[in-house]
A and B are shown apart, each in its own frame.
Chain A
Amino acid sequence: MERRRWAVILICLALVGLMMTTASCSKKKVIGDDTVGKDQLQKTGGGAGTSDADREAREKALEEARRAQEEGAAGGTGAAGGAYGASGYGDVIDEDVYFSFDSAVLSGEAQENLRRKAEWLKSHADKTVTIEGHCDERGTNEYNMALGDRRAESAKSFLSTLGIAASRMNTISYGEERPADSGSGESAWSKNRRAHFVVQ
């Protein structure tokens, strides 16, 4: 009797211990989860995509993208426009400015990104840039053409408030026509909602 009771207690303790160490932690929400949630308007109406696996996939993809941009040796094929590759002018220029779904609003992170670009532009006073506005594949291409234009203008406008002369910045929209990632799903779409800088 005694032994069995101890066994039961031990098993319970073991179970509790097991539960405490292996239960998945409540997901640490990424900042601006509401935004992420809104972005999850998936075409097929499948799963939400805020799972750890999806977030990891997105971060991994972004990391790979950054690495690819760093490794790009040849000078930017700037004229081709929208080429997903390195400009040859470094991370500050290569790092795309990202947007939320259906929006041309600059997030805090986007503004920080643009501040770095403004610094670069100030220290390279002879350079002009073309700012490309892009969208993900969702939505209609007519509206996305206008939205891409708005994203490019949004970035340009912010840079001019930071003192960059408007004459040094051209804008062009590619709508959904030139994705950085031609896949589907939020990990690809988030990489496509961007303003991309090309140095002339």
Chain B
Amino acid sequence: MTIILLLWQVTGFAAYDYVDISNPSLRKIPMAIPYFKVDPYHAEISRSGSDICSDTLNFTGYFTMIDRNTFPVNPQELDITGATLDFQSWSGTGAELLITCGTQISGNALEMEFRLFDAFKGKLLIGKRYKGNIADQEEMVRRFCSEVIFYLTGSRGFFNSSIAFVSTGSGNKEIWLCDFDGKNPRPFTRNRSITLFPAWSSDGQWIAYTSYKKGNPDIYVENVRDKRGFSISYKGLNSTPAWVPGQFNLAATLSFEGDQKIYLLTGNGKMIRRITDGTRGIDTSPTWSPDGQRFAFVSARSGSPQVYVMRAGSGQAQRLTFQGDYNTQPSWSPKGDRVAYTSRTGGGYNICVVSPDGGGSSCLTRGSGDNESPSWSPDGSMIAFSSTREGPSRIYVMTSYGTDQRALLSLPGQQTDPDWSPEGIK
């Protein structure tokens, strides 16, 4: 069932003065989302649509949602076109942004018309109309939310992304998937064996991982749709696969030459070359810059595990982390400007960030259990990670500034090792 997007929109351009995404002391923008006006009136759709819209946008941490009890107008009487809206009464509730939606139902057919207003200025910012079936309601709402994010931040957001992670619920560590908001969790592997390190390819079609299903730690590359794939089984260790952006190639830790080093391989396991040098000691956990020109990794060459960065092909490693004696699991932001990693500080493990060009590091979690294995959302605005602050290990999310830390979902067993997919693959 196709959703037809009828593109009718006020001349819009990304309005960066609404959401200053580079400002560390991020202020949440108050937003009002009244219940949708539905014709013929359908209470369930009126409420659920508005709730989905509110929950989806709220997930980003950019907004604070105004209490619907303070709204000045009954939603069914709302002029969703804005032509006769009393914007002063709306901004009087504290709202700076207002979203209206008019929904037409005809049999199984559904048409939704969304608008985003600047309540302060009384100005229409974007309008979108979608046509489809009743079952498409959630999809339509999510698409409009993506448009809102694109208009306000200039980025495509992540509402059509998934998160892969490891869970022990079945008795073994297996890879599971869920939607960006933790909904719809389901198993991806059923290896009945230790399975670790899920890694999405940059086109979202493949997941690489390490599994002991044949008795050795080997890498498997599996197509997400049809599960066909390849295995990568060099003698010894095959771990920490990291796809090169835009290529069917990946870096991985192999030890077949005696030392734990990082190698570049094709997606089906053919050797291209070793990419960390012969300095004795462990090199592991590669992560690529968004342009695929550099990668960060962990090396024990200075005596303790630290994060380094290297231009692919240069052989020259530059050290990034200088605080503490245990810095591992780097993850390069899709925005390119920061590398997140796990740092042992004060007896616990915490998520910290550092600039890949060197410069100070700062920690985003503190004093709440062990926080490990950061993974960025595709737009670099949020970080998923695992945390033991409640006891069992759970997948958590937070904004890239470290605010709004909360559990994403909770399943039986322990959840670890999150990896956030690209946008648009849901």
Contacts and interface: CB of A to CB of B under 8 A. Distances in A.
B260 interface: yes
A142 B239 contact: yes
Classify the secondary structure of A's interface with B: mixed
B217 interface: yes
Interface string A99-142: 00010000000000000000000000000000000000001111
Interface string A40-61: 0111110000000000000000
A77 to B, nearest CB: 13
A140 B239 contact: no
17 contacts: A41-B347, A45-B348, A81-B215, A141-B416, A142-B240, A143-B285, A143-B305, A145-B196, A146-B237, A146-B239, A146-B255, A146-B284, A150-B282, A153-B258, A172-B216, A173-B217, A173-B236
**A interface residue count range (under 10 / 10 to 19 / 20 to 34 / 35 or more):** 20 to 34
Interface in B265-295: 282, 284-285
Contacts of B260: 146, 149-150
A147 B346 contact: no
A173 B346 CA distance: 28
A175 B398 CA distance: 28
A139 B328 contact: yes
B372 interface: yes
Given A42-B347, A172-B216, A142 B236 contact: no
Contacts of B258: 153
Nearest to B196: A141
Interface residues of B, number: 36
A140 B347 contact: no
Task: Determine which residue in A45, A139, A141, A153 has the highest number of CB atoms from chain B within 10 A of its CB, and name it.
Answer: A141
Contacts of A142: 197, 239-240, 284-285, 298, 328-329, 373
B194 A143 contact: no
A42 B372 CA distance: 16
A28 B7 CA distance: 80
A190 interface: no
Contacts of B284: 142-143, 145-146
Given A140-B372, A150-B260, A172 B305 contact: no
Given A81-B215, A143-B328, A43 B304 contact: no
A147 B372 contact: no
B236 A149 contact: yes
A177 interface: yes
Nearest to A171: B236
B416 A149 contact: no
Contact of B173 (A45, A171, A173, A177): A177
B417 interface: yes
A142 B237 CA distance: 11
Nearest to B305: A143
Given A143-B298, A177-B173, A178-B194, 19 more contacts: A41-B347, A45-B348, A102-B305, A140-B329, A140-B342, A141-B196, A142-B197, A142-B239, A142-B240, A142-B328, A143-B305, A143-B329, A145-B210, A145-B239, A146-B239, A173-B217, A173-B236, A173-B237, A177-B194
A81 B196 CA distance: 18
